[in-house]
Amino acid sequence: MNKITSALLFAAALVFFACQSPQAPAEQAQDTIATPETTTAPAPAPEAPYDPDPTDTVPGDRYIIHATSAQTADLVRKTLQEKMKADLEKNLLDSSQRKFMFFEYDLNDDGQKEVFVGLVGSYFCGSGGCSPYLLDSQGNVITHFSVSDYPIIVDNNKTAGYKDLFIYSGGKYRVVKYDGKKYPSNPSLQPALKTTPGDGLPRLLDFIHEPYPRFNF
């Protein structure tokens, strides 16, 4: 065998053994590392709507929108606790009587909503009607009505800058007008409305036909 043939055989042997050699560590590591699976986090559950009165079966988003504010409820609660402090200290009101509802409505178009407060139960209502409150936006009492049935209807006409009210009292709807400081407290003494209030007028505290949350004070 000549030198050239020997050299070719030796080179071929080197190539053969190089192909059979184990993989380099870096290549082995690359082959053995598993590709992590891509996972998608579950979407967060939607928040339940705010429910101002969890004691009943009405969903929170079904209530009258102007009757649900927690801030307004706190304002009304503070006023009622102050006005009825003596009765509360004497335990004249049980838990079933210490409930209220409200409706926010801007009566004089100044951008600040007044608050009609409805009280129900035998302590606040009798054969002649109930005794709702009307508060300003700061919780101050404008008028504490007597012998008034619900709902309270708001007319489009204004007197002394405030909208007239139609309140059912003494067997008739009465026209209750603002006198510059307050509304008359006893609607039964006011002029009777000659016609039935139109269906298009706002009816406040109409809890018989619409869902209203009840709050404790």
Task: Walk along the chain (217 residues) and give the pLDDT tens digit of each residue.
Answer: 555 455 445 555 544 444 454 554 444 445 545 555 666 767 666 666 788 888 888 888 889 899 999 999 999 999 999 999 999 999 999 988 999 999 999 999 999 999 999 998 899 999 999 999 999 999 999 999 999 999 999 999 999 999 999 999 999 999 999 999 999 999 999 999 999 998 899 999 999 999 999 999 9
Question: Within a domain: residue 199?
Answer: yes
The predicted pLDDT at position 45 comes to 60
CB 87 within 8 A of CB 93: yes
Separation between Cα atoms, residue 50 and residue 210, nearest integer Å: 18
Separation between Cα atoms, residue 169 and residue 150, nearest integer Å: 10
The predicted pLDDT at position 128 comes to 92
Separation between Cα atoms, residue 58 and residue 179, nearest integer Å: 39
Question: Within a domain: residue 1?
Answer: no
Question: Within a domain: residue 102?
Answer: yes
How many domains does the chain contain in total? 1
The label of the residue with tokens 């992590």 reads 36
Question: Within a domain: residue 20?
Answer: no
The predicted pLDDT at position 68 comes to 96
Its domain, for residue 131, covers 60-210
Q: Which residues pair with 114 in a beta bridge?
A: 105
Cα separation values, 72 from 79, 168, 201, 206, Å: 11, 26, 23, 18
Cα separation values, 79 from 15, 108, 170, Å: 98, 22, 28
Question: Within a domain: residue 137?
Answer: yes
The predicted pLDDT at position 15 comes to 47
Q: Which two tokens stand for residue 143?
A: 């008028």
Question: Within a domain: residue 142?
Answer: yes
Query: Per this entry, what is the length of the chain?
Result: 217
Question: Within a domain: residue 36?
Answer: no
The predicted pLDDT at position 24 comes to 47
- Phi-psi group of 171: left, alpha or beta (phi > 0 → left; psi -120 to 50 → alpha; rest → beta): left
